[in-house]
Structure 1
Amino acid sequence: MLKKLTFIVILIVLFKPAYEYGTKLFNDVNQYLNHNSIDISDAANELITTVSTGVSDLSSTVSKMIAIDSKSSELPTEVKSVEDLADAFYHYFSRWETNFEIHYVGSTSDIENIIDRAINEATSRDQYIEGHLADRRVEYEYGVMDAKIKVDQQYLTNPEQEKIVDEKVAQILSAVDPNTMSDFQKVKFVNDYIVKNTAYSEESSASPHSAFAVVHEGKGVCQGYALLALKMLQQLGVETKYVVGEVYTGGHAWNLVKVDGEWYHLDTTWNDPVPDRGNTISYQYFLINDAQMKLDHTWIQANYPTATNEKYAFMKQVDHAYEVNGYMYYSNVEDNNLLYRVNPQTGVSEKVTNSRAQYIVGHGDWLYFSNYSNGAYLTKIKTNGTEESILYQTEVKNLFVEDGYLFFSTPDGLKKMALE
């Protein structure tokens, strides 16, 4: 006579803490237009779009997402070991299937433990899948040498959403050539993309804990941030871990990344200022070690690689970064937001000017920024620190360069200026 037993597994979904990076710095200034030969025109009605040229072959990307080993690609009608049972679970998990049945043939004297071991082995094969698992209900009927296992598995995503994730990630990564990028550049690219294009929010149509919500809706919480970073970095060839831990408000998720053979922590969520500040990126939690991370994060350290290197500790002082010719130009948060530059390979920093700079962009040999030492006026300076001058005597912010023009926001709206 068969016995029947049911058990339920509930996976805890993480919640991101509220995290503030401080208030914005703006000076009250008398606004007036400096009459000169610079042509500055209204750009409020222009539609600024960036079209990615060329999309990678999506079939290879999708195949990576659902790739499984030869044992689980064609499931036998019966499985006879923990390993085979794990293959079966992974087969269904990797296809985001919600209801399935597995026929196990073998001793059932320890059937509950056998199922638990198989599920743990299956989920450990792919952290991206593991991070998207939600509620699970397992029922099984068994005799002495036979068990029918029925599974109701819920996910934070579905096959249709994952197809969109694969396509969108392929499009994003088509803009870069990983063969010409260092590990540092790959990690920075992913961090910057996610921060610039995401606002921390639980108000998404899809689960805010999913990578889909972050990449498709531009909204999400820490779990979605970290899972998308995991997927993007792995596809760029960077060894990456998905980390689950806690902060002062509860559960949290982030990543560990291996850069030039050394492990570092990367918290894209806490690098994204709250409330959202558009293209502004913090690097307080960019390539830091265990000691620094432990100041406000906790995790089961035995479950993850150790991170002890301090090579990129200088990134904590970086704000409003702009990269050109092997240097990163930035507003130094540890020196009154003065304009600095650093060589990321050596970590050697130097002051460029005594002006306080934000919203730094560049074109050719020139840098452009909001000069908070002088009314937040639009200012330009050579990359070597010479020929600094004010271009527009009105408070400006949100600078960006596109199609040979410098765009910036003013109290009167979006403006543009032709660049030489």
Structure 2
Amino acid sequence: MKRFTYFMPLMPLIALLTMCAPVVEEELRPHSIEQPIAQPSERDMVVEIEGQKIEPLPTDDFITETEKQWRALFPKVYEEVRYVLYTSAPHYAFSLTEIHPQDLNDMIEAIAKNSRVDTYVVSWQAEYRGVSGDVYFTYRYEADEIAKQRVFVANEVERIASEIIEPHFDEYERVKAIHDYIVLQTAYEMELFESCGEEGCETLEAGHTAYGLLSNRLAVCEGYARTFSAFLDEVGIENYYVTGYGDDVLHAWNMVKVDGEYYYVDVTWDDPVPNQQGKVHYDYFLVPTEELYGHAWIREDYPETAKTRYVR
């Protein structure tokens, strides 16, 4: 029996402090999948796993171009793997007639690291013999705890959005209200950041999740960015969860679409450190690619932005 084991860095996305000066951006080289890439098509397929029908999520197309390539190459496997990760299932059975184990590993990594929703996955191991294989996933918490946290996040996002978003708000006003709420209600978790290195933290703390931000009001970049995405989804703003580097440290932020054009928003870097009550920065609010200073990422994975920052 052959096997491979993959351990995700336990917190792959660590925000650098907003007080640090920007550095010259070094763009990351895009990775490639060395197979012919099919064009994504309209996805009306419904997958069944263990008798359950899995409908495509509303935010299906707000993913990286790399993930879209995996989806086009292996649509059935892609849907099944994402369902497993989003439901914290411990096991996935696959066939080597459908996908090579290394491709499966790379697909899982692409989905897990770039998911707008917290997956809580720590590692996975695949075993295969002949044409059959199994992947076993390890999560930070038990399934019932993960489910509880996801329900809490969904309820809090719905409740808070109803309080801070007025019916007459346009897209810009909705994005700004959410940005400001997160900054004003959250403090950057210094102790968690200082316990991390470039390869990630030794332990997964709540501050890396939307649950941690909304329950403890403390977070690092993953918590900020995924919470921002959750709110934007709630109020109907097209957005992406973006991963890369901030001043050479693993980092996460967002892309949003306002008035027909895309912009980047880094809520983490707009939150003063140390925390200042009532203070909100806008240095990284609705900026184009050329003004996202100090950030490095696979630009081709995301839509092109406007040429200038949004001004109102």
Q: Normalising by structure 1, report the TM-score.
A: 0.54
Distance 1:72 1:181 in 2: 40
Distance 1:138 1:184 in 2: 44
CA RMSD of aligned residues (A): 3.1
1:114: how far off? 4.6
1:188 paired residue number: 176
Count of aligned residue pairs for this structure pair = 255
What amino acid does structure 2 have at the position aligned with 1:288? V
1:275 paired residue number: 274
Indicate conservation of the 8 Å contact 2:84/2:92, yes or no: no
Distance 1:107 1:252 in 2: 36
Change (3 A) 1:121 1:15: closer
2:104 alignment partner, one of 87, 97, 115: 115
1:375 paired residue number: none
Structure whose residues are more often helix by fraction: 2
The alignment partner of 2:268 has SS state of coil
Matches within 5 A, 1:6-85: 6-11=4-9, 13-20=12-19, 70-72=46-48, 74-75=50-51, 82-85=74-77
Matches within 5 A, 1:137-148: 137-143=124-130, 145=131, 147-148=132-133
Matches within 5 A, 1:207-226: 207-226=206-225
1:347 paired residue number: none
What amino acid does structure 2 have at the position aligned with 1:92? V
The alignment partner of 1:288 has SS state of coil
Change (3 A) 1:155 1:187: farther
Indicate conservation of the 8 Å contact 1:87/1:122, yes or no: no
1:155: how far off? 4.9
2:84 paired residue number: 92
Q: Which has the higher contact order (CA 8 A, sep 6+)?
A: 2
Q: Normalising by structure 2, report the TM-score.
A: 0.72
1:175 alignment partner, one of 149, 163, 168: 163
Once the two structures are superposed, residues 6-46 of structure 1 have per-residue CA deviations (whole angstroms, 9 ceiling, x without a partner) of 32142452222122299xxxxxxxxxxxxxxxxxxxxxxxx
The alignment partner of 1:150 has SS state of strand
Distance 1:299 1:105 in 2: 33
The alignment partner of 2:13 has SS state of coil
1:154 paired residue number: 139
1:233 paired residue number: 232
Change (3 A) 1:7 1:88: same
What amino acid does structure 1 have at the position aligned with 2:302? Y
The alignment partner of 2:12 has SS state of coil
The alignment partner of 2:206 has SS state of coil
1:112: how far off? 1.2
1:184: how far off? 0.3
Change (3 A) 1:299 1:141: closer
- Counting aligned pairs with the same residue, the percent is 24
The alignment partner of 1:135 has SS state of strand
Change (3 A) 1:290 1:107: closer
Change (3 A) 1:113 1:248: closer
Is 1:302 the counterpart of 2:300 in the alignment?
A: yes
Distance 1:233 1:297 in 2: 22
Indicate conservation of the 8 Å contact 1:72/1:87, yes or no: no
Change (3 A) 1:84 1:249: closer
User: Which segment is superposed worse, 255-264 or 177-186?
Assistant: 177-186
Bigger radius of gyration:
1
Distance 1:106 1:299 in 2: 32
1:200 paired residue number: 188
Indicate conservation of the 8 Å contact 2:189/2:207, yes or no: yes
